[in-house]
Amino acid sequence: MPRPFRFGVNMLTLEAGDSWRRKCRRAEELGYDVLLVPDHLGMPAPFPALIAAAEATERPRVGTFVLNAGFWNPALLAREVATTDALTGGRLELGLGTGYVRAEHETAGLPWGSPRERVDHLARTIGELDRLLGDPDQVPRPAQRPRPPLLVGGNGPRMLRLAAEHAEIAAFTGGRQAPGRPEGTLELMPADELAASVARYEGYAAGRPEPAERNLLVQQVRNTDDRRAVAREFADRGIGLDEEQALEVPTLLIGTPRQMAEQLREHRERFGFSYLTVLDSALEEFAPVMEELRGS
């Protein structure tokens, strides 16, 4: 029996408090299940933005998508997580990753580190959060016990192993470092490479008592009657895919709402993706697709 679909929107822009709350309420009206905030300089600070989102809405959960562990001291992060979970009435989902933009660390005056060092820090952070948030003497205490659900996002073998061992939600970005371009510049992985990452994760997760939910970040949603023309347009942008790959890859949704819904059913069958996240630029365009999929 496939896991039911769940839908999140990653909210990247904040202009003012009133417009932020209106956008959160609109996402709730459209049927989104989770309101998410990333962790990049130049974008909203995650925890206050999520508290405001929860106060403006009633039904959706809220989450980080994803926190850059390199920005955070584990003890201070545990305090933020516990406070936010308490203030949102147990609606928080905690997404964690290593970070991938070196320039942000340099701007913040924080060490960047090698890929190994960044994954090591993330692993230590997860361990400390489990210890601190699971401590009955932790003050403040999160509303969800022993801690909010954990989402871990990434594609490398060590990241996939961390997700398999610790996360209730395994998130796949479907992106990779673009060869020959500045560090932090991503291109999209073809479907067969994404399938290989999923298969590697499944091997690591074989001993789990319960399967994790699988998340995918959809980079573009395009409502069109001409799928091939739009796929050609994307391929011409140099995103690492040719036209045929752009038609197949799960990180691009192209077609009518009914066609896109069918694509997502196929991706759930092939990859196990049941929790789909879109960017807030697609907030309205993705809504008819959700309607096609609701209850399936």
HEC sequence for the chain? CCCCCEEEEECCCCCCHHHHHHHHHHHHHHCCCEEEECCCCCCCCHHHHHHHHHHHCCCCEEEECCEEHHHCCHHHHHHHHHHHHHHCCCCEEEEEECCCCHHHHHHHCCCCCCHHHHHHHHHHHHHHHHHHHCCCCCCCCCCCCCCCCEEEECCCHHHHHHHHHHCCEEEECCEEECCCCCCCCEEECCHHHHHHHHHHHHHHCCCCCCCCEEEEEECEEEECCCHHHHHHHHHCCCCCCCHHHHHHCCCEEEECHHHHHHHHHHHHHHHCCCEEEEEHHHCCCCHHHHHHHCCC
- Residue 40 pLDDT: 96
pLDDT of 119 > 70? The answer is: yes
- For 242-271, the pLDDT digits (tens) are 999 999 999 999 999 999 999 999 999 999
pLDDT band at 169 (very low <50, low <70, confident <90, very high): very high
Percent of the chain with pLDDT over 90: 90
Query: Cα separations (Å) of 131 from 128, 134, 135, 245?
Result: 5, 5, 6, 43
Query: What distance in Å separates the CA atoms of residue 141 and residue 26, rounded to the nearest whole number?
Result: 31
Question: Average per-residue pLDDT in the chain?
Answer: 95
Q: Is the pLDDT of residue 182 over 80?
A: no
Q: Which two tokens stand for residue 69?
A: 């562990």
CATH class of 6-293: alpha beta
Q: Name the pLDDT band for 184 (thresholds 50, 70, 90).
A: low
Is the pLDDT score of 178 beyond 70? no
CA dist., res. 136 & res. 146, Å (int): 9
- The answer for residues whose C-beta is within 8 angstroms of residue 101's C-beta and 6 or more apart is 40, 183, 184
| pLDDT tens-place string over residues 76-112 | 999 999 999 999 999 999 999 999 899 999 999 999 9
- Is 200 in contact with 214 (CB distance < 8 Å)? no
Residue 233 neighbours by CB under 8 Å, 6+ apart: none
Burial class of residue 12 (count of CB atoms within 10 Å of its CB; 0-12, 13-18, 19+): middle
Query: The dihedral of CA 285, 290, 292, 293: what is its sign?
Result: positive
Token digits of residue 143: 């509303």
**What distance in Å separates the CA atoms of residue 171 and residue 151, rounded to the nearest whole number?**
7
Q: What is the mean pLDDT of residues 24-33?
A: 98
Residue 239 pLDDT:
85
d(CA 74, CA 142): 15
Q: Confirm if 150 and 126 have CB atoms less than 8 A apart.
A: yes
Q: Give the global pTM.
A: 0.95
- Quick one: average pLDDT of 198-219? 96
Which of the four pLDDT bands, split at 50, 70 and 90, describes residue 185?
Answer: low
Q: What pLDDT, on a 0 to 100 scale, did the predictor assign at position 183? A: 67
Contact indicator for 92, 63 with CB cutoff of 8 Å: yes
- Across 174-191, average pLDDT: 76
Kindly report, residue by residue over 265-291, the tens digit of the pLDDT.
999 999 999 999 999 999 999 999 999
